[in-house]
Amino acid sequence: MRRGRLSPVGYVFVLVAATLWGLLGSFSKLAFQEGITPLEVAFWRAAIGSVLFGAHALVLRQARVAPRDLPAVLGFGVLGISVFYAAYQLAVQTGGAALAAVLLYTAPALVALLAWLLLRERMTPGKLGALALTLLGVAAISLQGGEVRLSAAALLWGLLSAFTYALYYIFGKLYLSRYATATVFLYALPVGALGLFPLVEFHGKSLLAWAAVVFIALLATYGANLAYYAGLRRLEATRAAVVATFEPVVAAAVAFAWWGERFGPLGYAGSALVLLGLLILTLEGRGKRP
């Protein structure tokens, strides 16, 4: 291992990424408050992000994708961008920023389950324990008595966002070793924006609404991804994944301070179980090559 592999700077980059991702839900709520629908927020996130990543890829000459990989990259644009971005925004609208972030982090458990069912990967005791903790955590959140309530719609959109986010793990395992992140998003983001465009009803926007949308695209999407992968170059993947679990903590804290979102005691316990399950799954893969 290279000496710089565990540089403290790597932790700073990943913490910056997790913080920016954690702010995504609260800034989305600000956009909703200013009259923008969840699907329009998702569209502008993809559209503005495509310009930013496109410029990045072109400047660094990272635009080439092998023809045989284009169908997979474009398909990722539909599921990983159109569906994921829309589902996450709808999860924030129906359940709040904190709940959407916690449900999103059930994704690694879904990855383990799908890999066992579809790819015949071994289901270890650690994975089973993590799955059980995740299910218990979601159940606890649904039964809590706080101001944040897990409605059927919030659960549906939250788990759909987690499922489509889980595709990032699988797609990344197959393709991000071949291409830079900017290369993939150069193609995937415009496809994602086009997939959302027919569903969006556009409205006039205030300066505050545009500020919220630009923050989401520029910092919580483009900036967060750049920071995360800069950190990943300096840290082991396992360490980076554990540090990234700071995201739902930030989301819950900001949602509490800004929007008054409060879990009941059972909700906070359930959130802790989801994060504990994520930690177990992350450590389960320690030392294994992706």
Q: Is residue 69 part of a domain?
A: yes
> Residue 140 is part of which domain span?
3-284
Q: Is residue 92 part of a domain?
A: yes
Torsion of CA 18, 19, 25, 28, to 10 degrees: -120
Q: Residue 178 pLDDT > 90, yes or no? A: no
Mean pLDDT across the stretch 7-35?
92
pLDDT tens track for 119-175: 677 888 888 888 888 888 888 887 766 666 678 899 999 999 999 988 887 777 677
| Contact present, 235 and 11 (Cβ < 8 Å) | yes
Q: How far is CA 80 from CA 46, 66, 192, 193, 238, in A?
A: 11, 20, 8, 11, 22
For the chain, the domain total comes to 1
Separation CA 272–CA 133 (nearest Å): 9
How much is the pTM?
0.87
Q: Which two tokens stand for residue 172?
A: 């990344």
pLDDT tens track for 128-138: 888 888 888 88
Q: Is residue 289 part of a domain?
A: no
Q: Is residue 114 part of a domain?
A: yes
pLDDT tens track for 44-72: 999 999 999 999 999 999 999 999 999 99
The per-residue pLDDT for 3 is 41
Q: Is residue 146 part of a domain?
A: yes
Mean pLDDT across the stretch 260-289?
78
| Contact present, 280 and 133 (Cβ < 8 Å) | yes
Q: Is residue 290 part of a domain?
A: no
